[in-house]
Amino acid sequence: MAKDGKTVSIIVPVYKTEAYLKRCVDSLRRQAYEGFEIVLVDDGSPDGCPALCDAYAKEDGRIRVVHKENGGLVSAWQAGVKASSGAYLGFVDSDDWVEPDMLVHMAACLSGSGAEIICCNFVINRPNGETNHYHGLAAGVYEGAQLEGKIKDNLLGHENRRISMSRCMKLFSRDLIEENMKYCDLRVTMAEDVNITLPALLDCQRVVVMEGALYYHYFYRDVSMVHRYDAGMYGGIRSLYRTVKEIYRVKDRESGERQADREYIYLLLLALKNEIRGGAAGFGKRTRKICKDKENRRIVEENPVPVSDKTNRMLYFVLRHPSWPAVLAARAVFWMYDHVRVTAGLGRSKDIGNQG
């Protein structure tokens, strides 16, 4: 398949999703669009996924399979990019699925001029229901001054992002991915898609935000595990912050440092939630240590940010005023909220907001 024209490669990282892989791959095989390929990347999955991938490749000539040692999500999609041949690249996670007309409608938005990104919208599917989600920007075509002002100067640093930083639900010109893969730090495990989507958006010359277009389905397998404590989250956030600052520096974006600092503040709210809501023994000490870190204090004091979400407002107060009473009060609020939801049989829902 030649790397030209409007040929599309869809890259699917696969790891421990045996129960969901058929739904994902079948949704791609049903695409009405012609001239595309599916690259399944088996990231050393220990279940039946490798055999399933090979079986699909035998059934469908549009499917190719890459088997590799386990290296994590970023290494998996990178391997898929290297094995792919399309002029445009899309990404689908192997426990998600897409609507059958997704590629037809997204490809119709392509200009073929290069350096462009097409963005559709998405549905979040949970065991207890589903919700529709849209990019913060109005639907339309963004080029020139609009692209610079409305997108590139406002990509990060908002409570709710103007454009989702997920690599999914998008079609990228191939060069935008290949030329920016060098920024992907395999050590970053928190919002790792920012590593590639941010530089790609900063380099692009055309962005299309589609109207409606609820083509991509994000599936949350176990909502009861969403708020399990992640001991490495804060370290991952700091690594991501350094990566984002470096991307903005290399891309010579005047507003970059401010965007990075403001984004870091919203990320710190996630770190505080992780400690206060999910942390066990020592959560209060760790929470106050984050808040009182010298660099964190400087960034928070120099970059006041608007916060509208009720939970975020509480966490932002703790970030600015990390007293023991404030930390314990926030802990009590989360406990009561979770207790009510579990008692009602609602479970816990995924946090989307700023990290979508």
Per-residue confidence (pLDDT) for residue 352, from 0 to 100? 37
pLDDT at position 344, please? Answer: 47
d(CA 130, CA 104): 24
Secondary structure element (H or E) that encloses residue 309, with its range: none
- What's residue 59's pLDDT? 97
Q: How far apart are CA 159 and CA 276, in angstroms?
A: 20
Residues in the chain with pLDDT values less than 50: 1-5, 223-226, 342-356
DSSP codes of every residue in 141-188: EE-HHHIIIIIITSSSSSSS-SS---SSSEEEEHHHHHTTGGG--TT-
Transcribe 71-132 into DSSP letters: --HHHHHHHHHHH---SEEEE--TT-EE-TTHHHHHHTT--SSSSEEEEEEEEEEETTEEEE
**pTM of model > 0.95:** no
The answer to whether 100 and 220 are in contact (CB under 8 A) is no
What integer pLDDT is reported at residue 185 of this predicted model?
79
Contact between residue 190 and residue 240 where contact means Cβ atoms under 8 Å apart: yes
* Residue-wise pLDDT tens digits, 281-339: 899 999 999 999 999 999 999 999 999 999 999 999 999 999 999 999 999 998 887 76
At residue 197, the 3 state secondary structure works out as: helix
Residue 162: both structure tokens together: 């103007």
